[in-house]
Amino acid sequence: MDSSTLGITRCGTKEFKWGKRTYIMGVINVTPDSFSGDGLSHDIEAALTISRRFAAEGADILDIGGESTRPGANPVSADEELRRVIPVIERLAGEMTLPLSIDTYKWEVARQALSSGARMINDVWGLKRDSRLAELAAEWGVPIILVSNQRDTSCQDIIPEVISSLRKSMALAMERGVGWENIIIDPGIGFGKTLEQNLEIVCCLDELKSLGRPILIGTSRKSMIGLVLDLPPDERLEGTAATVAISIAKGADMVRVHDVAQMARVCRMSDAIVRERCPPKD
């Protein structure tokens, strides 16, 4: 399915007109132990400063997360996650029109984040941990990102597994009342997958188009880049740029990134080639 047939997803006052250009999600990690080295812990002012900069650099939405998803990270209680994310969401929602996404798989965190001003749910477990997130998304009329997470399973043939996993998550979301236009899918780079499987996902990303929903991909600074280039997270900019450009060529509609200014340029150049015209500035 071509991206131009995916329609429009509304998120707060923002409209994502799929196929028009590649949209950029800026990552705001309000954690002390982010894999990417950008964790801000409880530093609200630092989070606000970075959020403002991302908005100026071209981010279309900000993804606020209070629990690290790196392998081996210690679980965080809902109370601690709320202490980290809610003050940031409240401040940002009060001062900018850029929509906010809550990166969580916990129902209570998502509920309070939506009440505080978030307008999208990013569920890295694709409703496998708590399907009530779909009911929240339906109740609030907000988009939900469904991620294919293989950390509880093992698989040999990754593309069919990802498609099957996402199809099940989508069916569950719609069963709980989420509108078709409010579903965004993410193949889940790094979530229980080997290096070879992650590389295959980027190479074959266009196969996910069969699911009929916009594709978000998050390769930014991830271990697949570190393993290929033998570089730490803060030196993976060029590797991230390569994966972003190839993902756009393979059908990505939104990219989740830590380096907004640089990836915005990569997106504009890729869009000019892949979408056969320069993207609009709006």
| Residue 216's CATH number | 3.20.20.20
Residue 12 lies in a domain: no
Q: Is 256 annotated in the active site?
A: yes
Residue 37 lies in a domain: yes
| Across 44-61, average pLDDT | 93
Instruction: Tell me whether strands 14-17 and 254-257 are parallel, antiparallel or unpaired.
Output: unpaired
Q: Is 128 annotated in the active site?
A: no
Element (H or E) spanning 44, and its range?
Answer: helix 44-57
CA contacts within 13 A on the Cβ side of 83: 9
pLDDT interval class at 40 (50, 70, 90): low
Report pTM: 0.93
pLDDT at 2: 62
Instruction: Tell me whether strands 14-17 and 8-11 are parallel, antiparallel or unpaired.
Output: antiparallel
pLDDT interval class at 3 (50, 70, 90): low
Residue 47 lies in a domain: yes
Which residues neighbour 72 within 8 Å (Cβ) at sequence distance 6 or greater? none
| Across 255-276, average pLDDT | 96
Instruction: Calculate the average pLDDT of the chain.
Output: 92
Answer yes or no: is pLDDT of 20 > 70: yes
pLDDT at 164: 97
Retrieve residue 188's tokens. Answer: 């889940």
Residue 277 CB-density burial (10 A; 0-12 exposed, 13-18 middle, 19+ buried): exposed
pLDDT interval class at 73 (50, 70, 90): confident
Identify the active-site residue in 209, 222, 236, 250. Answer: 222
Residue 3 lies in a domain: no
Assign residue 223 a region (left: φ > 0; alpha: ψ between -120 and 50; beta: otherwise). alpha
Count CB neighbours of 248 within 10 A. Answer: 24
Residue 179 lies in a domain: yes
Residue 170 lies in a domain: yes
| Across 154-169, average pLDDT | 95
| Across 25-38, average pLDDT | 73
Q: Provide the domain count of the chain.
A: 1
Answer yes or no: is pLDDT of 33 > 70: no
Which range, of 36-40, 239-243, 261-265, averages the lowest pLDDT?
Answer: 36-40
| CA angle at 141 for the pair 184 and 212, rounded to the nearest 5° | 25
| Across 236-242, average pLDDT | 98
pLDDT at 35: 46
Domain limits for position 249 = 17-274
Contact 254, 23 (CB under 8 A): yes
The fraction of the chain above a pLDDT of 70, given in percent, is: 93
Residue 63 lies in a domain: yes
pLDDT digits (tens, 9 = 90+) for 196-237: 999 999 999 999 999 999 999 999 999 999 999 999 999 999
pLDDT at 250: 97
pLDDT at 36: 44
Alpha helices per DSSP H over 105-235? 107-116, 132-140, 158-175, 195-203, 223-229
pLDDT interval class at 144 (50, 70, 90): very high
SS3 labels along 214-253: CEEECCCCCHHHHHHHCCCHHHCHHHHHHHHHHHHHCCCC
Identify the active-site residue in 256, 268, 275, 281. Answer: 256
Residue 282 lies in a domain: no
